Amino acid sequence: MTEEQNKDSSTARVVAPVFGAKELRQDPAWEWEFATALKEKHTREELLGLFSQYRTQEDPFNTLLRRVIFRAMCRKVGHEMTVCPDVVLKHPETMEFGDCSFIGAQTMIQGRFDGTCRIGNHVWIGPHSYFDARNLVMEDYVGWGPGAKVLGSTHTGEPVDLPIIKTSLIIKPVVIGYGADIGTNATILPGVRVGKLAIVGAGAVVTQDVPNYGIVAGVPARLLRIRKTG
């Protein structure tokens, strides 16, 4: 090891997890009642309009109202959800979020009117992420790096004399297993299942299933090793 490498190694430090070790605190009953009242009073379009009014600010009041309106818009939202500024949703009525989930700033989640999007408990989604969430499941304790993406559909490209964008779409399910970690700017392609407690390297393009405890990296992603044996 060179002197410079040794210096870098000596400055690294291990600290306790913050989000992953967070204990759940239940939201007060009035928040749930407020969300229910909004849902009963307003159309989906009106709720999206209300959400946009509080989308950009980071102060506690705007953060609170984002959570309340988010709960009114979505099919299901658990306790203690954090919605950061400039999050964009398409068809939130198809989306379910578990307890203690976190959505980073400028994330876009694109659903479909007849789609399925289920995001589990204690899921952390970094900023600038994108989800084609027309058939998406993220299980509990998933860590999602900033800028990472899910592509859940592809065009058939047939007939070949048509522009690709005019050909039919094939929507395939994407599943991210319990406790998996997806690196910054990684891309998960349609039909892929990432196994539990697997790691996807930064910038990887995942075209095939990742086994439980697997570590993959590269373009296209390749299996480097299994974190657990036996």
User: Is 128 known to be catalytic?
Assistant: no
Q: Taken in order 48, 49, 50, 51, is the CA torsion positive or negative?
A: positive
Helix (H) or strand (E) holding 83: strand 82-83
Q: What is the DSSP string of 16-31?
A: --SSTTPPP-PPPHHH
Whether the ω angle into residue 159 lies within 30 degrees of 0, i.e. cis, is yes
Answer whether 133's CB lies under 8 Å from 95's CB: yes
Local structure of 101: helix, strand or coil: coil
At residue 61, what are phi and psi to the nearest 5 degrees? -65, -50
In angstroms, the CA 188 to CA 61 distance is 35
Strands, E assignment, 113-221: 116-119, 124-125, 130-132, 135-138, 143-144, 149-150, 153-155, 169-171, 174-176, 181-182, 187-188, 193-194, 199-200, 205-206, 214-217
- In the chain, which ranges are continuous DSSP H helix? 3-11, 29-41, 44-53, 60-73
CA 115 to the chain's CA centroid? 16
Q: Which residues are catalytic?
A: 155
